A and B are shown apart, each in its own frame.
Chain A
Amino acid sequence: MKGKILVILTMLFAFFMLLPEPSINQTSGITIASSDNKNSNSKVTAFSQNLIILNVHLYHGNRQYEQDDVSIVNYKVAAIAHNLPVQSIYPEINGADKTLLPGLIDSHTHVFQNTLLEALHYGVNPELDMRTMPNFANQYRHQRALQSNVGHADLFSVTIMATAPGRHGTQFSFDIPVLASVEQVPQFVDDRIAQGADYIKAVYGSQNSKIKYLSSINSAILKALVDRAHQYNRMLVVHVDDLISATKDIMQIWKNGTAYLGKTHAAPDDPAKKFENRLFSDFNHSNDGQLNQTNIGSGIAANTDE
């Protein structure tokens, strides 16, 4: 009996010793994209306040630099140069055949539990949230100011969207304030700002659209929203589902803005066609197809500095 128990305990011990541990040869909080994909599964496990990345390809948004050394001191990039003097006290990462990127900006995301953590794991930082609950956003918003590694992506958030009763935004089983009249707009925007919204987002569907929306805020509310948002020097981001809402209404109200579209179709003679083509070329060029999944739907951001 004692022999048996001993055998079982030994087997248990052996089992636990055989369980694999995560590889910890990558000690950086920075994503290093490997061209040979060998390390594509390895996740960030720890972050060193100071470190040196040697011999890495560097791409900072519009230019690629070959085989540079990058030193990071106190969580900040301190120097980029060929053959940096190696500080032996700093951990070193061999960046050969790898590319160092700045954090990818996810411009349309809905954050909830763990998504900010995962975003950082995949090299996305910051996250521009387009709808979440204020309580959740406030847990993370203030940490943007911290220089140290807080373990998740920075968050900019719209908190609650401005939408009409029963329209998109109300279906997530959260009890959110909705807009039925222009008079409610100032209070709505004030509340969002007080709750820490970084920008205001509205959901809009035009009366003239071929899609018959059951309900939507009207253009007067939309105008009031952007005016109020601009008083706070905040941007108004508008979610639209069709080109007519975008081009016939919103682009008429504001000549100045930025737009991106996921997927839509316009007749060849439609003035919107030009708009669409430009957007698609922009879209494909800047995102390399990678952000397709996150940018589902379409939207227009009216600039604050119009």
Chain B
Amino acid sequence: MKTLIDDKPNLLTIFVLESKTETLRVFRTPGFSIPSLLFPIIFYTFFGIIFSMNPATMPTYLMITYAVFGVIGPALFSFGVGIAIERGQGWFNLKEVSPMPASAYIFSRIILTFIFALLIILMLFAIAVIFGDVRLMLWQWVSLVCIFVIGSLPFCAIGMTLGLYLKSSSAPATVNLIYLPMGFLSGLWIPINLLPEVMQQFANVLPPYHLAQLALKITDMDMGFPILLHVSVITVYSLLFIFLAVKAYHKKDKQ
């Protein structure tokens, strides 16, 4: 492997090294990693398996929605809370003046989100298969993983915006205040069709709802709206929050 002492630093090397150290850092702070990993698993075990209303479909349905819940968590927290805290510590500024490109900073956090997402998904799948008797075709398992992992990207953008706007002291509470209600109202905790009509309508403006619907299409459990609608809403949200994040980043520069 190349090292940093090379004449021309390879961008890929920087990306890999930054991702590696970032991952190492997070796994050495179990205060973040363990709750993020266990939260969706425990919820799924309670609502999807132990208190399952319908053992034929509920474990499958909730496995998918809790996986969505699981993957947006690390995206929001690693970006939102992570960046806010590093800004508060001055670490963000230090990294900015270092020769490392800003893209490496974002890339490493995306990789970190993917790793967490994948770990959560694999644990959920294992529990669903062993205790919930969930059976899916191989293409369904694989498509679900792809949707979940790629679907975490828009939430990285949302997290980044939050991380750049919020103060380090208020970030954890604020992100929780967005994450938990948004998950519930999007029908990730209990199926969306069990919520009252008004709340079902409201879910249309929430991005996790659309991601969950896309994933539920794989097992034919969605509400039956077109794929294009869900993809468009998620895309619009991604673009909006990328724009906001860029704006926040430049605003911070002028201060």
Partner of B57, one of A12, A17, A114: A114
Contact between B122 and A22, CB atoms less than 8 A apart: no
Shortest beta-carbon distance, A106 to chain B, in Å? Answer: 16
Hey, which chain B residues are within 8 Å of A1, CB to CB? Answer: 1, 16
Distance of A43 Cα from B42 Cα, bound (Å)? 28
Q: Mark B113-148, 1 if CB is under 8 A from A, else 0.
A: 000001000100100010001011110011001000
Partner of B197, one of A20, A23, A174: A174
Shortest beta-carbon distance, B145 to chain A, in Å? Answer: 8
Contact between A16 and B138, CB atoms less than 8 A apart: yes
Distance of A69 Cα from B122 Cα, bound (Å)? 45
List B residues 62-110 near A (Cβ within 8 Å). Answer: none
Considering residues A20, A23, A121, which has the most beta carbons from chain B within 10 angstroms of its beta carbon? A20
Distance of A43 Cα from B135 Cα, bound (Å)? 10
Known contacts A21-B136, A22-B135; decide if A114 and B193 are in contact (CB<8 Å): yes
Partner of B221, one of A19, A114, A121: A114
Hey, which chain B residues are within 8 Å of A287, CB to CB? Answer: none
Contact between B56 and A43, CB atoms less than 8 A apart: yes
Is B198 positioned at the interface, with any CB of A under 8 Å from its CB?
Answer: yes
Contact between A19 and B129, CB atoms less than 8 A apart: yes
Is A254 positioned at the interface, with any CB of B under 8 Å from its CB?
Answer: no
Main secondary structure of the interface of A (DSSP, over half): loop
Known contacts A15-B122, A19-B125; decide if A113 and B142 are in contact (CB<8 Å): no
Is A59 positioned at the interface, with any CB of B under 8 Å from its CB?
Answer: no
Known contacts A19-B125, A43-B56; decide if A173 and B198 are in contact (CB<8 Å): yes
Is B227 positioned at the interface, with any CB of A under 8 Å from its CB?
Answer: no
Distance of A113 Cα from B225 Cα, bound (Å)? 12
Contact between B141 and A16, CB atoms less than 8 A apart: yes
Is B11 positioned at the interface, with any CB of A under 8 Å from its CB?
Answer: no
Distance of A98 Cα from B141 Cα, bound (Å)? 32
Considering residues A19, A41, A114, A174, which has the most beta carbons from chain B within 10 angstroms of its beta carbon? A19
List A residues 168-184 near B (Cβ within 8 Å). Answer: 173-174
Contact between B193 and A113, CB atoms less than 8 A apart: yes
Distance of A173 Cα from B196 Cα, bound (Å)? 7
Contact between B1 and A19, CB atoms less than 8 A apart: no
Is B223 positioned at the interface, with any CB of A under 8 Å from its CB?
Answer: yes
Q: Mark B24-60, 1 if CB is under 8 A from A, else 0.
A: 0000000000000000000000000000001011000
Is A118 positioned at the interface, with any CB of B under 8 Å from its CB?
Answer: yes
Give the number of chain A interface residues (Cβ < 8 Å): 20
Is A232 positioned at the interface, with any CB of B under 8 Å from its CB?
Answer: no
Looking across the interface, which residue of chain B has its beta carbon closest to that of A115? B193
Contact between A121 and B141, CB atoms less than 8 A apart: no
Contact between A16 and B56, CB atoms less than 8 A apart: no
Is A213 positioned at the interface, with any CB of B under 8 Å from its CB?
Answer: no
Considering residues B16, B133, B135, B138, which has the most beta carbons from chain A within 10 angstroms of its beta carbon? B135
Contact between B223 and A113, CB atoms less than 8 A apart: yes
Hey, which chain B residues are within 8 Å of A112, CB to CB? Answer: 193
Partner of B136, one of A22, A113, A118: A22
Looking across the interface, which residue of chain B has its beta carbon closest to that of A175? B197
Hey, which chain B residues are within 8 Å of A21, CB to CB? Answer: 135-138
Hey, which chain A residues are within 8 Å of B141, CB to CB? Answer: 16, 19
List A residues 13-43 near B (Cβ within 8 Å). Answer: 15-17, 19-23, 41, 43
List B residues 135-168 near A (Cβ within 8 Å). Answer: 135-138, 141-142, 145
Contact between A118 and B57, CB atoms less than 8 A apart: yes
Distance of A112 Cα from B125 Cα, bound (Å)? 28
Q: Mark B183-214, 1 if CB is under 8 A from A, else 0.
A: 00000000001001110000000000000000
Top 7 A-B pairs, shortest CB-CB distance = A22-B135, A113-B193, A173-B196, A19-B141, A173-B197, A21-B137, A20-B135
Some 13 contacts from A to B, beta carbons below 8 A apart, are: A12-B118, A15-B125, A16-B142, A16-B145, A19-B136, A21-B135, A21-B138, A41-B133, A43-B56, A113-B223, A114-B57, A117-B220, A118-B56
A interface residues with partner B (beta carbon < 8 Å): 1, 12, 15-17, 19-23, 41, 43, 112-114, 117-118, 121, 173-174
Known: A20-B129, A23-B135. 11 other contacts (CB 8 A): A12-B122, A19-B136, A19-B141, A20-B135, A21-B135, A21-B137, A21-B138, A22-B137, A113-B193, A113-B223, A173-B197
